[in-house]
Structure 1
Amino acid sequence: MAALSTLGFVVAISLLGGFYHAATGSPATLQFAPNVSWWTSALDVLVLFVLATVFIVPHELLHGLAIRYYGGEARYGVGVAHFILPYAYATTDHEFSRNQFVVVLLTPLVVMTAVGVPLMLVFEWGWLIVPLAANAAGAIADLWMTMTLLAFPATVRLEDHPDGVRIIGQERNRRPALSVTAVVWDALAGAAVAAVGVFLVLAIGGPLALDVLGVDSLTVGTPDTFSFLFAFSSSPTEISMSVGPGVVGIGAVIGLVYAFVRSYRRTRATSSEVA
């Protein structure tokens, strides 16, 4: 899931950065130290690392609050995936309905976004983009699990465990285990194809279309930021064009959507065969 979370972070930071700039009129700055010596960049990186990891505590606590709301007793812990990737979790022995468990899964993403985005805009705290984007990236697995569970009937029951979810239902509700590897490859392939496709459309078709339409200048996104997508300028002496890193964000969005839709359709197709 690390690859999917990385794509999710790219998507979230692009969207939040663009939204912040549109709402406040100025791009978010992620420079925290005065630019006076070599340690400035190191300190900025350290602050960004802290901001990107501090979300873990409220994220898991919100999972725990949702668990308690439905009568469970939350337990918290940490683990290591693939021997190198640490992760935190909230779990319980309580049994949930499908819809209750979906609420438990989505609570951190919904609550932290609903609270954090207004705070970011009202106080112009551009630095909140980082923990909010990291929280969204951390919720990618929750979103994937939600999409998977929605393919099951609402009557199934679920038990959460640190290493997975046990689904309790009738034999006809059984679904084969979905391959995380397949989802990751779908996301990466979709993102790569989409990013290259958007780049080619903008780089080749963009100038031609704008020239035909008589547009002398157009900029999409904020230059020198991750939300910058495309810039075009035409004068009697020259035509200039540039494509920015926003292409990666668009590719990541399409890749994640493609992977989730493919995963959902696989589950639905299998359920139809079982029925």
Structure 2
Amino acid sequence: MSAEESAGSLHTLETFRVTRTVAAQWVVVSTIGFFAFGYLFAGVRAWLRGRPLEPIVLPISAHPTTLEFLGGFGLLVALVIALHEAIHGLAMSAFGREPTYGFGLSHVIVPYAYADSDGGYTRDQMLAVLLAPVIGISALGVLVMSAYPSPVLVVALAANAAGSIGDLWMASILVRFPEGVRVGPLPDRAPDGRGMGIYGSSASQGRVTARSRLASAFLVGAVGTLVLLVVGMVGTVLLSLALGTGTVVVGDPDGRWFLFAHEISRETRQVRLRIGVEVILAAMSLGGALWTVTVGGVELLRS
């Protein structure tokens, strides 16, 4: 999109900037997302193998060494990032753009890789660019997993999905707008400004309905609840490891209200992990509903 377009017949409807706060939120949600997506793809792998996922059994100590593990994990993540950005670039090329690639450091918080291009996109084109890697790699990975159910694929798919949090975040903003809007660089074109501008007619602004805003609020509340639950579970386990046996069971494993169990066997040197998915989903729904009511109430008071 040219500067003339954004400043002329099209109005700036909304801007999204990757501020320090947003970057920190992405780091937190991506970290939690890695484990959540890992559980999801591990479940797919177990289903493809015709075996139950739980209990998840992990060795307390295993070979290769920690250094070798971290090196292998880093190499795997690097390959996933390269493929992820290449798919972004292919999607840009499909819409007649010339992608450029590079690396950056977001507010001295976390390094990132990127694919970028000049020019603007329609809403649907930008959604395709944003979602192509997470959909494409996930679909391809599950297809490969059906023939070669390696746990390495679970890690790779989880890393890709967790690394797509920023893409999903921006896509959730875009879907609130009608398909006729245009997406381009930020209007001030700051040299270090990461983000996007959404441009359209005044009529387009009016079509951003209260329903879409409340749907976004529900999603924020649900994801926020998941983050709090995971942080609480990990914190409880770490506290138990520091002060006790490391075994933590929250709820009745054989009942309806079961959150999670982290059990350590010193004899077999194994950790057995079970997750109460139903309770977590119910809590996320409740958190989303409460946040939606809160946001709706604030908007009502402002009107």
The structural deviation recorded for 1:24 is 1.7
Taking every aligned residue pair, what percent have the same amino acid on both sides?
A: 28
Pick aligned residue for 1:187 from 223, 239, 245: 223
* 2:179 counterpart of 1:154: yes
Distance in 2 between residues matched to 1:257 and 1:112, nearest whole Å: 31
Q: Deviations over 1:62-113 (max 9, x none)?
A: 1111111111111112111121310011111121111111111100011111
Unaligned 5+ runs, structure 2: 1-25, 187-192, 214-218, 237-248, 263-270
1:88 aligned counterpart, secondary structure = strand
Counterpart mapping for 1:36-185 below 5 A: 40-160=65-185, 163-174=194-205
In the superposition, relative to structure 1, how do residues 207 and 132 fare at CA in structure 2: closer, same or farther (>3 Å)? closer
Pick aligned residue for 2:273 from 225, 244, 268: 244
In the superposition, relative to structure 1, how do residues 41 and 30 fare at CA in structure 2: closer, same or farther (>3 Å)? farther
The structural deviation recorded for 1:16 is 0.8
What letter matches 1:159 in structure 2?
G
What letter matches 1:102 in structure 2?
L
Counterpart mapping for 1:194-273 below 5 A: 203-207=250-254, 244=273, 246-247=275-276, 251=280
Unaligned 5+ runs, structure 1: 211-219, 221-227, 232-241
Distance in 1 between residues matched to 2:161 and 2:286, nearest whole Å: 14
In the superposition, relative to structure 1, how do residues 118 and 208 fare at CA in structure 2: closer, same or farther (>3 Å)? closer
The structural deviation recorded for 1:188 is 3.8
In the superposition, relative to structure 1, how do residues 136 and 43 fare at CA in structure 2: closer, same or farther (>3 Å)? same
Distance in 2 between residues matched to 1:71 and 1:29, nearest whole Å: 49
In the superposition, relative to structure 1, how do residues 54 and 144 fare at CA in structure 2: closer, same or farther (>3 Å)? same
Distance in 1 between residues matched to 2:291 and 2:253, nearest whole Å: 30
2:65 aligned counterpart, secondary structure = helix
Contact kept? 1:60, 1:90, Cα under 8 Å: yes
In the superposition, relative to structure 1, how do residues 129 and 209 fare at CA in structure 2: closer, same or farther (>3 Å)? closer
Distance in 2 between residues matched to 1:193 and 1:2, nearest whole Å: 17
Alpha-carbon RMSD = 4.5
Contact kept? 2:225, 2:287, Cα under 8 Å: no
Contact kept? 2:183, 2:198, Cα under 8 Å: yes
TM-score by length of 1: 0.66
The structural deviation recorded for 1:43 is 1.1
What letter matches 1:48 in structure 2?
F
Aligned residues: 230
Contact kept? 1:80, 1:86, Cα under 8 Å: yes
What letter matches 1:83 in structure 2?
V
Distance in 2 between residues matched to 1:156 and 1:11, nearest whole Å: 33
Contact kept? 1:75, 1:91, Cα under 8 Å: yes
Distance in 2 between residues matched to 1:77 and 1:191, nearest whole Å: 30
Distance in 2 between residues matched to 1:66 and 1:173, nearest whole Å: 26
In the superposition, relative to structure 1, how do residues 56 and 248 fare at CA in structure 2: closer, same or farther (>3 Å)? farther
Distance in 2 between residues matched to 1:92 and 1:171, nearest whole Å: 27
1:55 aligned counterpart, secondary structure = helix
Contact kept? 2:221, 2:287, Cα under 8 Å: no
In the superposition, relative to structure 1, how do residues 67 and 130 fare at CA in structure 2: closer, same or farther (>3 Å)? same
